[in-house]
Structure 1
Amino acid sequence: MSRIRVLIADDHPVFRYGLRALLLAEATMIEVVGEAATGTEAVSLTFECVPDVVLMDLNMPGLNGIEATRQILAKSPHTGILVLTMFEDDESVLAAMKAGARGYLLKGAEGDEAIRAITAVSKGEAIFSPSIASRLFGYFDSTKQKLFSRSVEPFPDLTPREREVLTLIAQGYTNSTIAERFVLSPKTVRNHVSSIFSKLQVASRAEAIIMARDAGGFKKSP
């Protein structure tokens, strides 16, 4: 099984050192292919090293992490961007998602959580730290009344099952977890997700989550 190729982009040498040490301890499954101290370096090294996942800091000198994410995905849309930062404000979270990042993890996360996030993002999944997920749930809850006040249901082209799947996608569930929840085969879930992306005209789970949040009514399950 091939290792996950990871590029670290952060302007703090000590943090890069600690993160590299963490990833080197997982050498059987993760390979660190490069390190960048600026957004500009992150973009150029991504195209040079071709990582599966870029661990992207937001606050870097010159080109920031959001713009670096946009530039990378414009030319390499299959690269997984996992934001790893101290910032958890609404604006930063949404900006990262809109730029195309697949995940958002705070720098205070435990090592095991970071490894799980890298693995998930490498597989195309969207993942968020617990505090960020709670913030997203808050978005969904705050727009619930807006949905109920509308005479037209959002995403009318979706089937009832696709709406259920979209709700779980918006809550950060993986395809395998959705399959277990609805007692469906993984292939059936993949087909539902593909159909949802096609009907919503989006290319990623992050874009689907943003659309779900903007439409409202996608709240945390009890």
Structure 2
Amino acid sequence: MAAHHTVAARTGADLRRSVLVVDVEQVWRELLSRAIGRLAGVECAGTAGSVERAVVLAETAPPSVLLVDPDFPGVPAGAVLRRLVTAAPDAALVVLVDADAADLDGVPAFAVVSKRSPLDEVLGAVTAAPARVAAPGPALTRRELEVLELLERGRSATVIAAHLVMSPATCRSHLAALRRKLGAHSLLEVVVRAQHLGLAGRPGRDG
């Protein structure tokens, strides 16, 4: 099935696209993320197998493109799509559907592509979507950035606390704040997402 484009072609320079893949099926998430990673000028910003996780990722680091299969058990497709476009209102929406037609409940999409289509057709819709400059990311305090810098160097929480002359409890508090602000489940994910957002070396606000 051909992609149905409902938004005008891109404007401005050919900017790098970041794509958030949302699909309840892990096989599809992995397939799409690998395929997107091989595209020039495109990167996979993350994958989500639940609407809640997708919203967190979209709000933390808004993508250029939302690539979404809205078929989640017990949730209308329109409700899924509305939550995601609310979380990332500037992203182009590319919808994957199992059938030749789908009821998006009035949610505007840049493209609608059948999962029965060749993979190249899905990727073509992604690369045709308008690119935009990446959002600046979450605001971190100066102290959080200092903790992040040491974390990126592979330092443990104990070493970070000693180096920055803070109590272990205070260090744990800063690490928890970093996980929350970056939508990360682990310290490794904190580092990966911080590097993706270019947060290293950024001046922080007082606090």
TM-score scaled by length of structure 2 = 0.51
Counterpart in 2 of 1:61?
73
Counterpart in 2 of 1:85?
97
Structure 1: 5+ residue stretches without partners: 125-222
Deviations 1:107-147 (A, max 9, x none): 122232222211222359xxxxxxxxxxxxxxxxxxxxxxx
The answer to whether 1:100 aligns with 2:125 is no
The answer to whether 1:119 aligns with 2:132 is no
> Which moves more between the two structures, 54-63 or 28-37?
54-63
> Residue type matched to 2:128 in 1?
A
> Which moves more between the two structures, 70-79 or 36-45?
70-79
Answer whether contact 2:23 2:68 (CA < 8 A) is retained.
yes
Which structure: greater helix fraction? 1
* Whole-angstrom CA distance in 2 between matches of 1:96 and 1:5: 23
Answer whether contact 1:40 1:62 (CA < 8 A) is retained.
no
Distance 1:35 1:64, change over 3 A: farther
Percent identical pairs in the alignment equals: 25
Counterpart in 1 of 2:38?
25
Deviations 1:36-61 (A, max 9, x none): 10222222221112101011112123
Distance 1:51 1:4, change over 3 A: same
Taking CA–CA contacts closer than 8 Å with sequence separation of 6 or more, which of the two structures ends up with the larger relative contact order? 2
Distance 1:75 1:17, change over 3 A: closer
* Whole-angstrom CA distance in 1 between matches of 2:105 and 2:64: 18
Distance 1:73 1:66, change over 3 A: same
> Residue type matched to 1:118 in 2?
V
Query: Among 51, 66, 73, which residue is 2:63 paired with?
Result: 51
Deviations 1:160-195 (A, max 9, x none): xxxxxxxxxxxxxxxxxxxxxxxxxxxxxxxxxxxx
Largest Rg, 1 or 2: 2
TM-score scaled by length of structure 1 = 0.48
* Whole-angstrom CA distance in 1 between matches of 2:61 and 2:74: 21
Shift of 1:6: 0.1
Answer whether contact 1:10 1:56 (CA < 8 A) is retained.
yes
Counterpart in 2 of 1:41?
53
Query: Which SS does the other structure have where 1:16 is aligned?
Result: helix
> Residue type matched to 2:98 in 1?
M
Counterpart in 2 of 1:172?
none
Distance 1:62 1:45, change over 3 A: farther
Query: Among 9, 13, 26, which residue is 2:22 paired with?
Result: 9
Structure 2: 5+ residue stretches without partners: 1-13, 133-207
